[in-house]
Chains A and B, each alone.
Chain A
Amino acid sequence: MTREIAKPGEYSPVEAMVVYAARFLAGFDGKKGLIGTGLPLVATQLAKMTYSPNMIIFVETGQADARPQELPISIMDSRLTYGSSWQMGDPEGLFPLSRNEIDFGFIGGAQIDKYGNVNSTFIGGDYNKPYKRLAGTAGAVDIGVFAKDTVILMAHQKRRIVDFVDYLTTPGWMVKKWPEGTLVRREELGLQGGPSSFISSMGICRFDDTTKIMYLDKYFPGIKPEDVKANTGFDIDVSRATEADPIYTDEIKLLREEIDPLNIYKMR
């Protein structure tokens, strides 16, 4: 029985982002991942139901290996405690992360730059008088520093994908060395891992092996590479991009009917 393909327009860009992220997580079946709050939880739920059922989910609040029956609304939600194999406290819940035992981290953010640094602290103005103050650092910093691989999920908008972030919350490939504040490669500070991919609502981006600058790897059906370039706040290389495999209707149906029927995450 062939799976029916969903045409672009039958699903929203955010739903596409979540489905491609879940497919990306298929490569982490059986591996340990630290999941951030927000849309990464939806993608993880979809992945656990379809492509990587044996993925081990860790969260910063200490629940580990949970099997949520209903979509959790945050990482503190009691729905994420159901079925978990072990419950740790805080900071104990992050000790596996600091021992480099976590295979990947899955986070969102407010701004991302061409080196994969993510900002979730403030936008515009300066630190003491910001134009828009945001949530704060949360555990994204810890994920960016320690996880063997980091996957970032964010909607593709020009004002959010910039040349350099206003505040470097989560270290990407070019980080700040203190006390001088000079920009160095993360390996120089002894940080392992690093972001490998950025999944947006338009495509999947990766980081060049030598320059570590973001380039477009795959664009989603219905999107043209020129659209991606127009919606990015720096001059992104789209020459190496190919079209991603199409989305199937059963994936969209799973999202809309079983995972988030009430549209709590405002995906559509």
Chain B
Amino acid sequence: MRYEPIPIEKGISKPPTYKIMTAKEAISKYINENCYLGMTVSAAPADLIWEIVRQRDRIKTLDLVITSQIGMSSVLIGSGLVRKIEMGYNWGGIEGEDKVFRRAVEKGIPRPLIVEDYSNYGAAMRWLAASMNLDSIGTKSQLGSDIIKYNPRIKVIDDPYTGRPVAMVPASRPDVAVIHAARADEIGNVQCLGLYGNTDTLARAAKHVIVSVEEIITTAEIRRMPNLTTIPYYYVDAVVHAPFGAHWRETTYYYHHDLPYGLDVYRQFATQEGYEAWADKYVHGTKDWHEYCQMVGFDRLNRLQQSEHKYQAFGEVR
């Protein structure tokens, strides 16, 4: 495992070529064994996660770095891929206890899991540091808490100018970032609507970026509203078109969180057999995201979309 800061290599800028491909092609090309994978707190890239789980026999091991996650990291943990997780928060939220995560940490089922705790702020600062090409960054958060005792990578130093204590967190440079966003053009300019979380800092911190989007738009449309652009094209390696690509979670302005589905999934996740049964049907039993949407049911997905559009839809003035 790599802990040394990785110098920015030449050629990390990606050219403005046609980057639209299927999830299968993107994952096959960029995610390999021992990949250090990053995911943001905003829309969950479910279509990319499902594809990673489908290719788990080839990928074998991942180290995950997140700030907060509900659900998607558990799908990866239950598949036996994750060796270590660097996290701020990983739970089921309102949907209940994350028994997949608990089993992995407490009992090592399906695979022992090493946990490195940070606060949400500390975890987010790690990508901010990497996006500025710093090896570490200071924050006053986490002082006074047990996080510093159990995480030796957080070092408390005296500020060189005032002498006051400050906690330094190391920069995090994932090998690959998997991100879900609202829209992108074919060369990889990505725009987020609403909640965008760590999208911009993670895209700069990671060596490769795979983005799945709800809509593919023209570059002319991107140029009309450059404020919305969270990732410039030269960070992006692959663009995957995946409508409803964050199911069962939400994408702001597109569709709501599917709460009944999430509650049902967490009930099944209460045992490892339940997880395997769900994954065999919905992940291994579908060959791509479109088949998964058909299995969930487009009627259901459209109702989630109507539920969101009742209050907010992009472009409408209310």
* Nearest CB of B to A146, in Å: 7
CB-CB nearest in chain B for A87: B194
A137 contacts B196, CB within 8 Å? no
Known: A76-B70, A141-B119, A142-B119. 7 other contacts (CB 8 A): A61-B68, A62-B196, A73-B259, A89-B230, A90-B42, A91-B120, A91-B128
Q: A219–B119 Cα gap in the complex (Å)?
A: 33
Residues of B at the A interface (CB closer than 8 Å) are 40-42, 67-68, 70, 87-91, 93-94, 98, 101-102, 105-106, 115, 117-121, 124-125, 128, 139-150, 156, 164-165, 194-201, 230, 249-253, 256-257, 259, 308, 311-312
CB-CB nearest in chain B for A69: B311
A125-143 contacts to B (CB < 8 Å) = 127, 129-142
B197 contacts A169, CB within 8 Å? no
**Counting CB contacts under 8 A, is A222 at the interface?**
no
B121 contacts A77, CB within 8 Å? no
B94 contacts A139, CB within 8 Å? no
CB-CB nearest in chain A for B102: A133
Which single member of B128, B141, B312 contacts A81 (CB below 8 Å)? B312
**Which residues does chain A contribute within 8 Å of B68, judged by CB atoms?**
60-61, 76, 138
Mark contacts of A183-215 with chain B using CB atoms, 8 A cut-off: 1 yes-contact digit, 0 otherwise.
Answer: 000100111000000000000000000000000
Which single member of B94, B139, B143 contacts A265 (CB below 8 Å)? B94
B87 contacts A169, CB within 8 Å? no
* Nearest CB of B to A170, in Å: 7
A73 contacts B257, CB within 8 Å? yes
Which single member of A70, A127, A135 contacts B89 (CB below 8 Å)? A135
Instruction: List 10 contacting pairs A-B, 8 Å CB cutoff, sorted by A.
Output: A78-B253, A81-B195, A131-B106, A136-B115, A137-B89, A144-B145, A169-B146, A176-B148, A189-B144, A191-B143
Q: A133-B106, A137-B120 are in contact. Are A77 and B142 (CB under 8 A)?
A: no
* Nearest CB of B to A100, in Å: 10
**Which residues does chain A contribute within 8 Å of B199, judged by CB atoms?**
89
Which single member of A130, A131, A138, A167 contacts B119 (CB below 8 Å)? A138
**Counting CB contacts under 8 A, is A171 at the interface?**
yes
**Which residues does chain B contribute within 8 Å of A81, judged by CB atoms?**
194-195, 252, 312
A137 contacts B42, CB within 8 Å? no
* Nearest CB of B to A112, in Å: 14
* Nearest CB of A to B317, in Å: 14
B197 contacts A178, CB within 8 Å? no
**Which residues does chain A contribute within 8 Å of B93, judged by CB atoms?**
37-38, 73-74
**Which residues does chain B contribute within 8 Å of A78, judged by CB atoms?**
194-195, 250-253, 256-257, 308, 312
B196 contacts A130, CB within 8 Å? no
Q: A94-B121, A130-B105, A136-B87 are in contact. Are A89 and B198 (CB under 8 A)?
A: yes
B195 contacts A141, CB within 8 Å? no
**Counting CB contacts under 8 A, is A1 at the interface?**
no
* Nearest CB of A to B218, in Å: 24
**Counting CB contacts under 8 A, is A175 at the interface?**
yes
**Which residues does chain A contribute within 8 Å of B194, judged by CB atoms?**
78, 81, 87
B197 contacts A62, CB within 8 Å? yes
